[in-house]
Chains A and B, each alone.
Chain A
Amino acid sequence: MKKILMIILVGLFGTALKAQNIYFTKDAKINFNSSTPLEDIVAETNQGTTFIDLSKNEVKFSVLTTSFKFRRALMEEHFNENYMESSKNKEFAKAKFSGTITTPVDWKSDKTVNAEVRGDFTMHGVTKQITAQAKITPGKAGIAATAEFHIVPQDYNIAIPAAVSDKIAKEVTIKVEANYAPYQH
């Protein structure tokens, strides 16, 4: 009986301890820019889901590609139908990142740190390693973070037709902005 109680207590305490180290938000802002002098191509969504596990310095991000909003409805249609092929399957419908903050961060301080985040970025069914430059501001109530990285669409098997290749930047800049809150479940 005592043993069982002990197991339950350790279990409860263990999960409580674990949960304290996890921060999350489901409203991360993600935008990308592939503008050229010929065409402004900017898209944004507020529906990024992201977690930080402070004990392992791990970061996870995921976003649904059909949630991106462009300046024109036509761009949204092209983005999802021709480039991302979002409706193909669940993998194509999402973009994901899973990585580690490689610069040491003092989670107890509230000073902004310039950090490097490295990991696997998956979209259009292709996974590649990327490195993002991040600014992380820890705090008692939550963690604020911004990050930026660049990708080349061709690396992710996204073919850009010659007819529009002058209008779409060769390198796409992706920016994220998230205000994390402690994860309680």
Chain B
Amino acid sequence: MRKSKKLRFVLWFVLVGILIGIASVYYVFNMPRRDLSKETALFHLQASQLISDFKSDENAATTKYLDKAIAVTGEVKNIRTLDNHSMVFSLEDAMEGVSCTVDSAETVRFGAKLAGLKMGTRASFKGRCTGMLMDVQVINCVPE
């Protein structure tokens, strides 16, 4: 009697363990994408500062900012909509500034706010920094 009780306890224990295991594998496998609107920016900075950080020491800046949530502020110098309906706002400089890409879903979610951002106005975006090509790229942006 006692033995079977013990066995039952062990079996339950194993079963719960397996279920937790399956659930966590399932969760990791279907890990949700980062939602930048829910993340706190690790750095708040001016577009000019971000550009000069990358231009003065790209390696150090890559280590510091890559894949981090950052909030960047600057004057809008170029706005374009790509054929996948995402929008790109160039801050500080149209060619060698900070490119903030807002994904198509976010352009709908923040439509009213984005419509207010015109060339020459100051704008803030929070996004994930992916590094520098000609300009410093910040993607998955949400307006701040």
Residues of A within 8 A of B (CB): 26-27, 46-47, 49, 62-64, 66-67, 72-74, 77, 80, 86-87, 89-90, 93-94, 185
Contacts and interface: CB of A to CB of B under 8 A. Distances in A.
Interface size band for B? 20 to 34
B131 A64 contact: yes
Interface in B112-144: 128, 130-135, 137, 139
Contacts of A74: 28-31
Nearest to A87: B66
A87 B131 CA distance: 9
B34 interface: yes
Contacts of A73: 31-34
A27 B88 contact: yes
B94 to A, nearest CB: 9
Contacts, number: 69
Which of B29, B31, B66, B86: most chain A Cβ within 10 A? B66
The 7 closest A-B pairs by CB, nearest first: A64-B130, A49-B133, A66-B130, A64-B131, A90-B58, A93-B131, A73-B31
B59 interface: yes
Contacts of A66: 66-67, 128, 130-131
Given A46-B82, A72-B30, A26 B63 contact: no
Given A66-B67, A73-B31, A90-B58, 13 more contacts: A26-B133, A26-B135, A47-B137, A47-B139, A64-B133, A66-B130, A66-B131, A72-B30, A86-B66, A87-B63, A87-B67, A90-B131, A93-B131
Nearest to A77: B31
Contacts of A62: 133
Contacts of B46: none
Contact of B137 (A67, A86, A89, A90): A67
B84 A185 contact: no
B140 to A, nearest CB: 9
A176 to B, nearest CB: 14
B57 to A, nearest CB: 9
Interface in B22-81: 28-34, 58-59, 62-63, 66-67, 80
